[in-house]
Structure 1
Amino acid sequence: MSVYQRANGKWVYDFQLSGRRFCGTTDATSRRAAEREEGRLKAQAEQDLKAAKDLTEGPMTVGAAIARFWDEVGQHYGGTYGKTLDTALDWLLAELGPTTRLRDIGPSKVAEVIAKRRGMEVVTKTTRRKLTNATVNRTVTEPLRRILIRAADMWEQPGLKKIDWSEHLLPEPKERVRELRDHEEAKTFDRMRDDYRPAIAFALVSGFRLAEVANLRWADVDWTAQTIAVIGKGEKAATIPLTSEMRAILAGLRGHHDEFVFTYVCRRGEPGVRVKGRRYPITYEGLKSAWRRHGARAAGVKDFRFHDLRHTTATRLMRERGNIKIVSRVLRHEDIATTSKYAHVHDDDVREAMEAVSAARKPVRKATGTDEGQP
């Protein structure tokens, strides 16, 4: 033991373990008490050093895997998805336990954490509901699958159990593509607040996501090259052409703010924070609130979300040009298979195509609907 008393009467401990020095003051009033305190601290230090060694040299633990996954993958995601992933990893860490070894996680444990997450609820001021299958897949099954596969394939961790992930993914309803019809568009824009209307109009013609609209800055708009720069999912940078309709929307917003494109007029001032009647940049949450209060639902348009504006952009492009690569380029999809869901048609489209075929061909049957001699 190496304890000593300073001139001020405080007892100090000072020892070394594995080349590291541990020292500090104690609350002891005698040498014997100081030696007991040092013994306790030394035992704790030995335990901590062993745990740290196990993390780096022994079988990989959940804590080490999640930390490494975040450093290599998770931290590079931005926006809502990045926050969702961060929260999901924290939940997995607490449920699985930071010292649990990856090789001890098998199908039974995976099923257990999925079942627990599935039983949780989302509680708001007005509603109480169970988490959807999509949320459980996105916040439990997918992150855990990616970590374990990465541990086996890239981190070369031996002895990991075989897991059939298709057995653990919960069924999700097929994503529908909802298009805003012309009469619904008119109703929606009539109901929308004047200061938020340009942001909604821009989303409809550009295919931008809600966060991308709220974050658009004048520095992103290149009037000369006629392009707009956008940072999308996963902090991926891209550009899309600046159309005449987009230019018309943006031109009317010049001078409202030096940095941000879309702004709103403050209706209720807040001393020292906001001034009534002055314009301020639209925020992500602010745009969400405006859409909820004054958007499609408020206008009587059923089953139409903000993200469906993006769907509408894609569907209209597909109908106009029939070129899925153009749609994929505008939506900035890395995999064109993601865009294929927009290659659908409505009854009106089918009817128009059938009418065109009928008009182009010489009729081989009588207009009455039956051939001579046939029933």
Structure 2
Amino acid sequence: MSVYKRPGRETYSYDFQCGGARYSGDTGKSAKRDAEKVEKSVREKVQNQLRQAKATNSEYMTFGRAATRYWNEIAQYHANAETSLRSLEWLQDKIGPATFLHDIGDDTVAQLVAERRTEVRYNVTDKETGRVSNGTVNRTVTQPLRHILNRARRIWKALVADVQWSQHMLKEPKERIREASKREENAIQDKLARGYDAAAAFAFASGCRRMEILGLRWEHVDLDGGRFTVTGKGDKSRTLPLIPRLRQIIEDCIGHNESHVFTYVASRTDKRKGLVRGKRYPLTEAGLKTAFRRAVPKAGVVDFRFHDTRHTMATRTLRKSNIRVVQQMLGHEDVATTAKYAHAVMADLAAAMDAASPTKTPTGIQDVVASSENKREIRPL
């Protein structure tokens, strides 16, 4: 029987393969014998359903098989594959790997959304607790489930229920624009451990997303040509110039790792993770998130997230150039997405208008006076 306890869990989980798909979940049992009975029951249910599907030559597909196939074909290639895997595991645990796709309707989706909203936010510290945000629910439940079911219907030709997805998307607040002052930027940098400070400095100076920075490899850097290439959302790449500040950050990382630009030094040996104290390893998403989240309050900075480094660079750049330049820098397909940074131009315009002082003589009167002085009298012949 393939039952085991995950780290920090009191109950056993099961994990097995059947019909080319992987099935895993929580048995809800703390006794191994009871957990094995649950695993056996789930396995038998899956086998019976697969036999039924083959016998009727139907287009039935279980969620376990669909999730496995989606991971193999799509999700494992996401820039944030680790987050995608956690979402798939959560969905499979709640839906059940043996559940047929055509049984996943609006009622199921509504229940999943409701349950996810009541959970405690991932990766919280003792000082930082709260419920999962609407945006997180959308990105970890509704959107990945919609992608799976849509792909199953369109590409795999499986039988899928009709779901009104727009009714399940939670309203998200408009993205705020938080620009850091130079003092705040320096303060945060001072509180970051070596390695993490380089990644944050690169973010402040380039406007790149966190996953774009973590995925930056030496093969993507052209020091002679003075440029580097990052891969953003939708696996779309863009090439940016290596301005002096960025070049210095990258050159300081030379020799740290053969493949990745940004790395950290392991503070202790961890055989489970394959870490050896004192050696360098590529930065991870979880590690950078945690380091930055802890550094901000230590620096005395309020309400600032890693993604705000992107907002900061975009706003600063817009003040010195135009919205098309910022669009190219950020990799936005539609300039309307970049337009949210127009507040920077409006703020500068407002400051200039406020600083303007009236002249002693109105411009219109000066023109009239000058015109009168230069006017020559024309007499009739």
| Common topology (TM > 0.5) | yes
1:135 matched residue in structure 2 = 136
Higher mean Cα deviation, 87-96 or 233-242? 233-242
Shift, 1:134, TM fit: 1.6
Shift, 1:154, TM fit: 3.9
CA distance in 1, matches of 2:139, 2:188: 31
2:329 matched residue in structure 1 = 330
CA distance in 2, matches of 1:258, 1:98: 40
1:87 matched residue in structure 2 = 86
**1:150-169 → structure 2 map (5 Å cutoff):** 150-157=151-158, 160-161=161-162, 163-169=163-169
Compared CA separation, residues 158 and 50, structure 1 to 2 (3 A): closer
Shift, 1:244, TM fit: 2.4
Compared CA separation, residues 303 and 107, structure 1 to 2 (3 A): same
Which amino acid letter does the alignment assign opposite residue 138 of structure 2?
Answer: N
CA distance in 2, matches of 1:315, 1:173: 20
2:315 matched residue in structure 1 = 315
Shift, 1:176, TM fit: 0.6
Is the 2:149–2:160 contact (alpha carbons within 8 Å) kept by the matching residues of 1?
no
**1:129-208 → structure 2 map (5 Å cutoff):** 129-157=130-158, 160-161=161-162, 163-192=163-192, 196-208=196-208
Would you say 1:71 and 2:64 are equivalent positions?
Answer: no
Identity among equivalent pairs (%): 42
CA distance in 1, matches of 2:232, 2:244: 22
Compared CA separation, residues 49 and 328, structure 1 to 2 (3 A): same
Is the 1:179–1:311 contact (alpha carbons within 8 Å) kept by the matching residues of 2?
yes
Compared CA separation, residues 317 and 109, structure 1 to 2 (3 A): same
Compared CA separation, residues 363 and 138, structure 1 to 2 (3 A): farther
Is the 1:297–1:304 contact (alpha carbons within 8 Å) kept by the matching residues of 2?
no
Aligned residues: CA RMSD: 3.9
Give the secondary structure class of the aligned counterpart of 2:130: strand
Shift, 1:332, TM fit: 2.3
Is the 1:152–1:160 contact (alpha carbons within 8 Å) kept by the matching residues of 2?
no
Is the 2:138–2:170 contact (alpha carbons within 8 Å) kept by the matching residues of 1?
yes
Is the 1:55–1:61 contact (alpha carbons within 8 Å) kept by the matching residues of 2?
no
Is the 1:195–1:263 contact (alpha carbons within 8 Å) kept by the matching residues of 2?
yes
Is the 1:202–1:249 contact (alpha carbons within 8 Å) kept by the matching residues of 2?
yes
Which amino acid letter does the alignment assign opposite residue 59 of structure 1?
Answer: Y
Shift, 1:330, TM fit: 1.6
Which amino acid letter does the alignment assign opposite residue 150 of structure 1?
Answer: R
2:348 matched residue in structure 1 = 349
CA distance in 1, matches of 2:264, 2:79: 25
Question: For 1:127-178, what per-residue CA distance to the aligned partner results, in whole angstroms no more than 9, with x for missing partners?
Answer: 55322222211111112222333344444456732x3322211122222111
Give the secondary structure class of the aligned counterpart of 2:280: strand
1:220 matched residue in structure 2 = 220
Question: For 1:330-349, what per-residue CA distance to the aligned partner results, in whole angstroms no more than 9, with x for missing partners?
Answer: 22234444333323237742
Higher mean Cα deviation, 58-67 or 218-227? 58-67
Give the secondary structure class of the aligned counterpart of 1:228: strand
CA distance in 2, matches of 1:202, 1:166: 37
The count of residues paired between Structure 1 and Structure 2 equals: 315
Give the secondary structure class of the aligned counterpart of 1:296: helix
Compared CA separation, residues 45 and 61, structure 1 to 2 (3 A): closer
Compared CA separation, residues 337 and 257, structure 1 to 2 (3 A): same
Shift, 1:314, TM fit: 1.1
Question: For 1:236-270, what per-residue CA distance to the aligned partner results, in whole angstroms no more than 9, with x for missing partners?
Answer: 44321111222233344545566554455677799
Shift, 1:318, TM fit: 1.7
Shift, 1:112, TM fit: 1.8
Compared CA separation, residues 45 and 178, structure 1 to 2 (3 A): closer
Which amino acid letter does the alignment assign opposite residue 72 of structure 1?
Answer: E
CA distance in 1, matches of 2:46, 2:106: 36
Residue segments in structure 2 that go unaligned for 5+ positions in a row: 1-43, 365-381
CA distance in 2, matches of 1:240, 1:346: 23
Is the 1:261–1:281 contact (alpha carbons within 8 Å) kept by the matching residues of 2?
no
Compared CA separation, residues 350 and 61, structure 1 to 2 (3 A): same
Give the secondary structure class of the aligned counterpart of 1:238: strand
Which amino acid letter does the alignment assign opposite residue 310 of structure 1?
Answer: R
Higher mean Cα deviation, 53-62 or 307-316? 53-62
2:277 matched residue in structure 1 = 274
1:245 matched residue in structure 2 = 245
2:13 matched residue in structure 1 = none
Question: For 1:311-336, what per-residue CA distance to the aligned partner results, in whole angstroms no more than 9, with x for missing partners?
Answer: 11111112221223x22222223444
Is the 1:55–1:64 contact (alpha carbons within 8 Å) kept by the matching residues of 2?
no
TM-score scaled by length of structure 1 = 0.68
